[in-house]
Amino acid sequence: MTSERLKKQIEFICEADKLKNIFRQSRIHDGTRRENDAEHSWHLALLAIILSEYSKEPDIDLLKVIKMCIIHDIVEIDAGDTFCYDTQANLDKEEREKKAADRIFSILPEDQAKELRSLWEEFDAMQTPEAKFAAALDRIQPVLLNYLNKGGTWQEHGITKEQVINRNKHIEDGAPELWDFISQLIDQAIEKRYLRP
């Protein structure tokens, strides 16, 4: 006989599969299609594993960072992906995402709901070393993709260097060396005309 706890856990796992249907503005490396939220979250978890040595804080809890990377966009199942440069859509983003978090995390058994909700909120606040590093990775990944696909979303929406810098400068708070790398990549994107000056 299946326990109530296991039923809730499986229900949450099945609900999380819906992330595969939430498409982001970012296109994959070759520009052929938009990436979905599940791909984005997996990619961030991989970045965390590979790039953890660049965290500003040397003793971060890597498992905690990976958990944040995997669940940080789960609310987009209900709230949708909000394009980071869309000022109008960002006005009610927080409200939409909190409502989604209330519903989605409540599917889980109470202890797991509390843990994942707490991690989601910690990521969003960007105050702890783990959250700063996870948030840095969340900013690095779209910059890499836009560079690889020759400006993709930047070109499509007429994004400027100033917008990209303002959106991503807090990478330095979590990973200064990675911010140096991304700053150079942004300059190269300008030179290659992938990004407006």
Is 35 part of a structural domain of the chain? yes
Is 14 part of a structural domain of the chain? yes
Q: What is the pLDDT of residues 39-91, one digit of tens each?
A: 999 999 999 999 999 999 999 999 999 999 999 999 999 999 999 998 888 89
**Domains identified in the chain, total number:** 1
- Identify any residues that bridge with 34 across adjacent strands, giving them in sequence order: 27
Q: What is the pLDDT of residues 85-112, one digit of tens each?
A: 988 888 999 999 999 999 999 999 999 9
Is 197 part of a structural domain of the chain? no
Range of the domain at 185: 4-191
CATH number at residue 55: 1.10.3210.10
Check pLDDT > 90 for residue 189: yes
Is 196 part of a structural domain of the chain? no
Q: How far is CA 121 from CA 79, 98, 118, 124, 144, in A?
A: 15, 9, 5, 5, 26
Prediction pTM value? 0.95
Is 87 part of a structural domain of the chain? yes
Q: Which residues of 79-114 are buried (b: 16+ CB within 10 A; e: fewer)?
A: bbbbebbeeeeeeeeeebbeebbeebbebbbeeebe
Is 62 part of a structural domain of the chain? yes
